[in-house]
């Protein structure tokens, strides 16, 4: 009897790229729900617009490059990029900016480098930074969380605002939107106010800011789920959160009036999202275990430095992109000692 | 017994794989009836091929040496039955690349008449290790765990590498394979006897028997046999069921905590590993004077009707062995020789069972699906987490793919044991091991080319040197002649030469005179 042959190993685990990506999407759900809860339907509308744009852009490029379209879309990596970018955008952002960011992420940052697996930069963060640098005003307008907002936008309002730019009658940008807590913190500090004064505003919760701390907590939960499912290893998040915590603690101990607590840093802005979902993007991160710890820690430190001294309110995107450039070098210098290469030769 | 005091160490990486062992352990080992035709490959081991000692038409007896080892690293081949040599020539053999190779084909006479065997040596403890090694060599025993390295060579590491620990590799970590498990359950005493022989040959002070925890019956049988045999300093050690615990380096680390140096031998750290079936074959050779004629083969998978273990004469057709297991079911999809992780897929079952054939896995499409298309590497890094050799499989892959062979060596390609863990977990389904094999083969052939070029260069240089030498000798001879000439007194100059010189002077003078007159013309 004749048989077809193939090369060993003949059995493979159940893991596949699309399953990895699907788990990542699943782990994001609690954080997204909280984000919608606190900041309205705009969040969801952004994500949907981003997803449509990402899939369309990827399909178009694949077609041009003569690659299989459906199979590649099926790896879900474009969807992950879209969701990560979508939820990082302000919930009032005009639709065409979202589309611009996503198309840049998919076409320039990902496909021009050869597609999944070849991109040196995290596509979602590349798109985010492009928007932030080019449209700083739109990108820094955030809604206050629903609990403390005087006006809230319902679904129709949000949709109209995003698609046509028109406000509900009698409302202005200034009345409706404000800065993010991180932004407030830095402008407050810039005006030489003390942290306890800044925190008197109703925006502030127990560790971070109202709403934000919940979102961060749920990202943390989703991230731990990914670690537990072995989708990501613990090294990068631990490195990043640890690095940020330690350096923030040091400064906080030196002067607690002008340096917010380390927990504030951990639970504000995109720290948790970045630690578990962005810095861990395997394609652009370091890959050895020691390398991942170093890579994560350096991102954490960079986040602190940029938040404290830089010109932008949040720093995760910049920190990740900067470290993306260092990843290959870190890998090179952190190769593990291969079996049988032990110096002393035995146990 | 002090199993409890001896810690089990750990090796890094590895996989928890479903064992699928119960499929083939339901029945005792069955002895296959003698077949009619046997195809015996001349090379069933790592090393030099053997040289046939019989011709077509010769009558042979069971156990007779029909091809002898030509070199130190080689193992003779014996007739698995009595009968007539029907052919000697190329025949398909089980080999990853579907090779044909020289085989001796024997038609059985059905009588199974044995040749005269050497005397059994129950007194092996009083014999010289060299004598025992010679017996093991005569018996044609090779590593039966899969590699097939001649055992007589392995048990002779030389006086500069003393062995303190002898390890019996009974881990059998590949899914589906149960031949060692069943052999331990049924013939623990025989295995221990073989172990005692090897221990005497290498002079080891202790024996460690490493068995995976998923074989409780085998563990119990071996423990009981150790007690009843009274072997001193022999410990049955239970290692966690984690693939590839049966990898030689991994098992050594599990049992002793020692790391075999990169590209080195276990003997360098005083350890020697032997497989269960090899030990049993050594017992037969020394205690019964029998050569290696048969082995236990697991036949398993959803592609056969009645999986089980079979004691089969070497050279039996695989299709016949499958028939013993009730034949194929209609679910059969792939035929694998060995396990699903490191075995290789056979193109056909018209192949002989050889010394290293431990398992025939007739798998269904559910068990061994066609490999899905490979996607790009997403540098997800799972491969590095499971690599027992602590390599960076993805970097190896990038460099192998880019044919950057130097870089693959920087990333320790040759420490890769081809266990397949990395490819197993790769979410992009990249056939990583295939790339590593390609890179290794390319490097070997490069080195062979280089070696060949070196020889050619040396030959060329030698020729140049010889030519230069000849030339120098010629010059020296000439010089000598000239010197001899110069040494003659000036006055005694050749009269002929003087006459010529005088004549030339006259001509020159005439020419000069003519030249002086010319301007006046
Ligand atoms: S597991 Fe596969 S996809 Fe992931 S890094 Fe290794 S080779 Fe690349
Ligand atoms: S096949 Fe080689 S690289 Fe892959 S896990 Fe095994 S030893 Fe490591």
pLDDT digits (tens, 9 = 90+) for B374-423: 888 877 678 888 999 988 898 889 888 888 888 888 888 999 999 999 99
Q: Nearest by CB to A117, which of B319, B367, B379? A: B379
Chain B residues whose beta carbon lies within 8 Å of the beta carbon of residue A283: 378-379
Residue A1 has its nearest CB partner, among B328, B378, B381, at B328
Indicate if A144 and A200 belong to the same structural domain: no
Q: What is the mean pLDDT of residues B151-177?
A: 90
CA distance A256 to chain B (A): 40
Do A54 and A134 share a structural domain?
A: yes
* Average pLDDT along chain A: 82
At B222 the pLDDT is 94
Q: How far is CA B207 from CA A53, A117, B25, B222, B413, in A?
A: 66, 49, 27, 13, 32
Give me the interface pTM, i.e. the ipTM: 0.74
Domain hosting residue A307, numbered range: 179-333
Residues of A in contact with B264 (CB under 8 A): 340
Give the start-to-end residue ranges of the domains of chain B: 1-31+121-288, 373-479
Does residue B142 have a pLDDT over 70? yes
CA distance B412 to chain A (A): 7
Percent of chain B with pLDDT over 70: 92
Please give the Cα distance from A235 to A279 (Å, whole number): 11
* Number of domains chain A contains: 2
Which residue does chain B place closest to A15, by CA atoms?
A: B427
Which residue among A3, A10, A342 places its CB closest to the CB of B347?
Answer: A3
Phi/psi of residue B244, nearest 5 degrees: -100, 75
The CATH homologous superfamily to which domain B1-31+121-288 belongs is NADH-ubiquinone oxidoreductase 51kDa subunit (3.40.50.11540)
Residue range A96-109, pLDDT digits in tens: 889 999 998 888 88
Structure tokens given for B188: 């623990």
Tell me which DSSP letter residue A284 carries. Answer: G
> Distance between CA atoms of A327 and A287, rounded to whole angstroms?
8
pLDDT of residue B29: 93
Q: Rg of chain B's alpha carbons, rounded to an integer?
A: 34
Q: Do A159 and A223 fall into the same domain?
A: no
Taking only the tens place, the pLDDT of each residue in A227-273 is 998 888 899 999 999 999 999 999 888 887 778 888 888 888 788 98
| Average confidence score pLDDT of chain B | 87
Q: Do residues B66 and B42 touch, judged by C-beta distance below 8 A?
A: no
Q: How would residue B352 be classed by pLDDT, with cut points 50, 70 and 90? A: very high
Which pLDDT score is estimated for A258? 76
Q: List the one residue out of B360, B371, B365 whose CA is nearest residue B336.
A: B360
Q: How far is B261 from chain A (nearest CA, A)?
A: 4
Residues recorded for chain B: 521
Minimal C-alpha gap between B9 and chain A (Å): 10
Share of chain B above pLDDT 90, in %: 47
* Domain end position, chosen among A177, A210, A225: A177
Please state at what angle helix A155-164 crosses helix A42-65, rounded to 10 degrees.
50
At residue A346, the pLDDT reads 42
Give the span between the Cα atoms of A334 and A320, in whole angstroms.
Answer: 19
Q: Are residues A120 and A205 in the same domain?
A: no
- Ligand 2 nearest atom to the CA of residue B420, by list position: 1
Chain A residues with beta carbon closer than 8 angstroms to that of B394: 287
pLDDT in the model for residue B3: 45
Output A155 or B127, whichever has higher pLDDT.
B127
Is A158 found in the same domain as A30?
Answer: yes
A102 and A139 housed in the same domain: yes
Q: Using a CB cutoff of 8 Å and minimum separation of 24, what contacts does A150-159 make?
A: A150/A175, A151/A175, A151/A176, A152/A40, A153/A40, A153/A41, A153/A42, A153/A92, A154/A41, A155/A41, A158/A40, A158/A41, A158/A42, A158/A45, A158/A91, A158/A92, A159/A41, A159/A45
Contact (CB, 8 A) for B49 and B43: yes
Reduced to 3 states, what is the DSSP secondary structure of residue B327?
A: coil
Percent of chain A with pLDDT over 70: 84
Least confident window among B222-231, B291-300, B499-508: B499-508
Q: Are A122 and A284 in contact (CB under 8 A)?
A: yes
Pick among B380, B398, B428 to test the A interface (most A CBs inside 10 A) = B380
Q: Do B375 and A75 touch (CB under 8 A)?
A: yes
- B463-510 pLDDT, tens digit per residue, is 778 788 888 888 888 888 888 777 765 554 566 666 766 677 666 666
- Does one domain contain both A29 and A158? yes
- DSSP codes of every residue in A290-318: HHHHHHHHHHHHHHHHHHHHSSSS--HHH
Interface of A with B in 71-130 (CB under 8 A): 71, 75, 77, 114-118
* Closest-CA residue to A288 (of A327, A321, A326, A323): A327
Phi-psi region of B130 (alpha: psi -120 to 50; beta: other; left: phi over 0): alpha
- Torsion sign (Cα): B50, B56, B61, B62: positive
Domain identity same for A195 and A295: yes
pLDDT at A175: 62
Query: Is the predicted pLDDT of residue B520 greater than 80, yes or no?
Result: no
Last residue of a domain, one of A160, A177, A194: A177
Q: Is residue A8 part of a domain?
A: no
* Residue A259 and residue A163 share a domain: no
Q: The tokens of A76 are what?
A: 């879900």
Q: What is the pLDDT of residue A124?
A: 86
Model confidence at B320: pLDDT above 90:
yes
* Amino acid A269: pLDDT: 79
**What pLDDT score was predicted for residue B508?**
67
State yes or no: pLDDT of B223 exceeds 50: yes
pLDDT of B166 above 50: yes
Residue A266: its pLDDT value, please?
85
Residue located nearest, by CA, to atom 8 of ligand 2: B387
- Write down the pTM of the prediction: 0.78
pLDDT of amino acid A171: 67
What is chain B's percent helix, strand, coil content, to nearest 5?
40, 20, 40
Residue B298 CA to residue B307 CA, distance in Å, equals 8
Residue A338 lies in a domain: no
B407 membership: H or E segment, kind and range: helix B405-410
Tokens standing for B333? 């999809």
Residues A119 and A43 in one domain: yes
| Tens-place pLDDT, residues A199-218 | 666 666 666 666 788 888 99
Whether A5 is covered by a domain: the verdict is no
User: Would an 8 Å CB–CB cutoff place A341 in contact with chain B?
Assistant: yes
On the question of pLDDT at B224 being above 90, the answer is: yes
Rounded Cα gap, residues B154 and B151, in angstroms: 5
Regarding the beta carbon of B384 and ligand 2, being less than 6 Å apart is answered no
Reply yes or no: is the peptide bond before residue B200 cis, omega within 30 of 0: no
- Ligand 2 proximity of B252 Cβ (cutoff 6 Å): no
pLDDT at B314 over 90: yes
A339 within some domain: no
Q: What is the per-residue pLDDT across B262-290, written as a single tens digit (0 to 9) for each?
A: 888 898 999 999 999 999 999 999 999 99
Residues A126, A28 share a domain? yes
What does the pLDDT read at residue B168? 94
């Amino acid at each position: 009897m004749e048989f077809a042959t193939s090369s060993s190993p003949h059995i493979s685990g159940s893991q596949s790229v699309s399953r990895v990506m699907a788990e990542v999407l699943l782990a994001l759900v609690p954080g997204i729900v909280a984000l919608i809860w606190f900041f309205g339907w705009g969040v969801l509308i952004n994500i949907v617009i981003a997803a449509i744009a990402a899939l369309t852009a990827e399909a178009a490029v694949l077609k041009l490059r003569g690659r299989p379209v459906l199979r590649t879309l099926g790896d879900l990596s474009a969807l992950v990029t879209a969701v990560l970018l979508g939820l990082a955008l302000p919930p009032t952002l005009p639709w065409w900016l979202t589309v611009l960011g996503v198309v840049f992420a998919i076409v320039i940052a990902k496909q021009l480098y050869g597609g999944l697996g070849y991109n040196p930069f995290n596509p979602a963060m590349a798109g985010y930074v492009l928007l932030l640098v080019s449209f700083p005003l739109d990108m820094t307008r955030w809604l206050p969380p629903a609990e403390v907002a005087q006006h809230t936008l319902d679904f129709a309002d949000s949709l109209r605002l995003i698609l046509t730019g028109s406000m509900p009658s009698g409302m202005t940008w200034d009345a409706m939107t404000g800065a993010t807590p991180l932004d407030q913190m830095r402008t407050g500090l810039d005006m030489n106010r003390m942290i306890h004064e800044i925190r008197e505003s109703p925006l502030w919760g127990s560790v971070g800011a109202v709403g934000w701390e919940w979102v961060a907590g749920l990202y943390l939960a989703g991230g731990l789920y990914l670690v537990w499912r072995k989708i990501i290893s613990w090294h990068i998040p631990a490195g990043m959160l640890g690095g940020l915590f330690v350096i923030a603690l040091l400064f906080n101990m030196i002067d607690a009036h002008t340096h917010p607590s380390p927990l504030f840093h951990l639970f504000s802005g995109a720290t948790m999202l970045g630690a578990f979902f962005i810095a861990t993007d395997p394609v652009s991160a370091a890959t050895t275990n020691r390398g991942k710890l170093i890579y994560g820690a350096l991102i954490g430190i960079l986040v602190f430095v940029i938040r404290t001294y830089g010109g932008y309110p949040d720093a995760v995107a910049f920190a990740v992109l900067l470290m993306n450039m260092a990843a290959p070098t870190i890998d090179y210098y952190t190769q593990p000692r291969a079996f049988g290469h032990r110096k002393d030769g035995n146990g | 017994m002090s199993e409890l005091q001896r810690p089990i160490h750990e090796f890094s990486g590895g996989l928890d794989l479903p064992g699928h062992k119960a499929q083939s352990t339901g029945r005792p080992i069955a002895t296959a009836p003698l077949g009619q035709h046997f195809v015996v490959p001349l090379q069933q081991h790592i090393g030099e091929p053997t040289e046939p000692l019989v011709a077509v038409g010769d009558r042979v007896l069971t156990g007779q040496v029909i091809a002898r080892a030509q070199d130190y690293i080689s193992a003779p081949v014996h007739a698995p039955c009595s009968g007539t040599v029907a052919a000697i020539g190329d025949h398909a053999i089980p080999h990853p690349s579907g090779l044909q190779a020289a085989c001796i084909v024997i038609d059985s006479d059905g009588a199974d008449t044995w040749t005269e065997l050497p005397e059994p040596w129950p007194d092996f403890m009083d014999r010289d290790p060299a004598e025992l090694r010679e017996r093991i060599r005569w018996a044609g025993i090779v590593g039966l765990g899969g590699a097939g390295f001649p055992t007589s060579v392995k048990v002779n590491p030389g006086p500069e590498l003393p062995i303190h620990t002898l390890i019996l590799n009974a881990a059998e970590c590949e899914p589906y394979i149960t031949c060692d498990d069943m052999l331990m359950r049924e013939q623990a005493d025989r295995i221990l006897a073989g172990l005692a022989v090897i221990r005497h040959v290498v002079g080891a002070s202790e024996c460690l028997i490493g068995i995976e925890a998923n074989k409780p019956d085998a563990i119990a049988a071996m423990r009981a046999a150790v007690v009843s045999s009274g072997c001193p300093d022999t410990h049955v050690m239970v290692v966690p069921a984690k693939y590839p615990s049966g990898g030689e380096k991994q098992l050594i680390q599990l049992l002793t905590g020692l790391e075999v140096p990169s590209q080195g031998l276990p003997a360098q750290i005083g350890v020697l590993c032997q497989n269960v079936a090899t030990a049993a074959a050594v017992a037969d050779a020394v205690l019964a004077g029998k050569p290696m004629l048969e082995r236990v083969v697991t036949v398993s998978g959803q592609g056969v009707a009645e999986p089980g273990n079979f004691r089969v004469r070497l050279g039996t057709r695989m299709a016949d062995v499958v028939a013993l297991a009730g034949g194929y079911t209609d679910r059969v999809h792939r035929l694998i020789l060995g396990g699903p992780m490191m075995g290789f897929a056979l193109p056909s079952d018209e192949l002989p069972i050889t010394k290293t054939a431990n398992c025939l896995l007739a798998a269904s499409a559910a068990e061994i699906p066609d490999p899905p298309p490979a996607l790009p590497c997403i540098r997800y890094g799972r491969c590095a987490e499971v690599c027992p050799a602590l390599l960076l499989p993805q970097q190896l892959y990038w460099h192998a793919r880019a044919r950057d062979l130097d870089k693959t060596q920087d990333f320790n390609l040759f420490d890769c044991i081809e266990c397949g863990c990395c490819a197993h977990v790769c979410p992009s389904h990249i056939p990583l091991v295939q790339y590593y094999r390609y890179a290794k083969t390319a490097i070997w052939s490069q080195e062979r080319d280089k070696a060949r070029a070196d020889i050619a260069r040396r030959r060329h240089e030698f020729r140049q040197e010889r030519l230069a030498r000849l030339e120098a000798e010629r010059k020296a001879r000439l010089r000598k002649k000239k010197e001899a000439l110069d040494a003659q007194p000036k006055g005694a100059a050749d009269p002929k030469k003087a006459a010529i010189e005088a004549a030339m002077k006259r001509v020159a003078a005439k020419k000069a005179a003519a030249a002086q007159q010319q301007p006046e013309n």
